[in-house]
Chain A
Amino acid sequence: MAVVFNKTQGLTEKEFHYCPGCTHGIIHRITAEVLEELGVLGDAIGVAPVGCSVLAYDYFNCDMNEAAHGRAPAVATGIKRALPDKVVFTYQGDGDLASIGAAEVVHAAHRGEKITTIFVNNAIYGMTGGQMAPTTLVGQKATTAPYGRDESLCGQPLKVSEMLATINGAAFVERVAVDTPANIRKAKKAIKKAFECQLEGKGYAIVEVLSTCPTNWGMTPVDAISWLQENMMPYYPMGNLRNPWEVE
């Protein structure tokens, strides 16, 4: 028998600390597989965020750096400018990127920094205990919104990909999900393109990945996947928003 699926070299042997059913693990794996397939593991430098994935530097089998909350694109900018031959990426959650780090990501995209961002959107602050994030859906309950997000008080959830797609420096913007094996394969393709965008020097690339948080949503992992499909996907439509190769 031939091995058709084995753990990628892009991940270390360390066990993920994530809760059961947390899709961070899937996104870690496909990102690491892309780095391995592109043959850039030895040249890759990742920047970990603050949030559940704060320990991502333990899991990726490449050079990693840790940034202050939300500042991963600023740290990645410095690394890429000092070492332009390296493949630099940030891995950030929605509490990190869409809230405290909104300015950093907008300006990194605006400057057209040749870095790649993996943006994990699970519509909640995970590590700190399920507080409302900018991406929390209207009506969705969180510890700081016990009756659900009130639109008149907190506004509508922020669509980060659509916002960044209005910036010319953002060369590649795509939203994907990891709810089914088919969508996971599509997500991996998008992440691969986002790294190719950087390798070809086209500009800033970001992939928004719709993800689950079973623990803070208060659901089983299987129910959380259904909730993502029924509630998040209609508000955050999947698809490519910017593509540097679309002229072909």
Chain B
Amino acid sequence: MAKAKGKVTFDEARCKGCGLCVTVCPVGIIKLDTSRINVKGYHPATVDEMDKCIGCANCATMCPDVIISVERE
């Protein structure tokens, strides 16, 4: 069975870098990008290996600032 493919989009300017999305990702691909600082002064959450995303929307469910949108194939 083919694995579900997903895609998450972060509204980075509104991210407060709380890291709750990082803890609930079942495939562990979300991280706080410590090389960048957003307009609010936080390290924004980001995904490098988007091809591993399964589109479960756990991150968006947990995000307190509603900055994540999720698509799934």
Contacts and interface: CB of A to CB of B under 8 A. Distances in A.
Interface of A: 1-8, 11, 15-16, 18-26, 29, 180-181, 184-185, 214, 220-222, 225
B65 to A, nearest CB: 5
A26 B69 contact: no
**B-side interface mostly:** mixed
Interface of B: 5-7, 14, 16-20, 22-24, 42, 55, 57-58, 60-66, 68-73
Contacts of A21: 16, 18-20, 64
Contact of B64 (A4, A26, A180, A220): A26
Contacts of A18: 64-65
Given A180-B24, A221-B20, A222-B19, A3 B70 contact: yes
| Most B CB within 10 A of own CB, among A15, A19, A180 | A15
5 contacts: A6-B69, A16-B66, A25-B64, A25-B66, A221-B19
Contacts of A20: 16-18, 42, 64
A23 B70 CA distance: 20
A1 B61 contact: no
Contacts of B70: 3-6
Contact of A222 (B5, B20, B64): B20
Contacts of A7: 66, 69
Q: Which 5 A-B pairs have the closest CB atoms?
A: A25-B64, A21-B18, A20-B16, A5-B70, A1-B71
B24 to A, nearest CB: 6
A185 B58 CA distance: 10
Contact of B19 (A25, A181, A220): A220
A20 B62 CA distance: 12
Contact of A3 (B14, B17, B66, B71): B71
B58 A181 contact: yes
Contact of A16 (B17, B19, B61, B65): B65
B68 to A, nearest CB: 7
A11 B65 CA distance: 11
Contacts of B14: 15
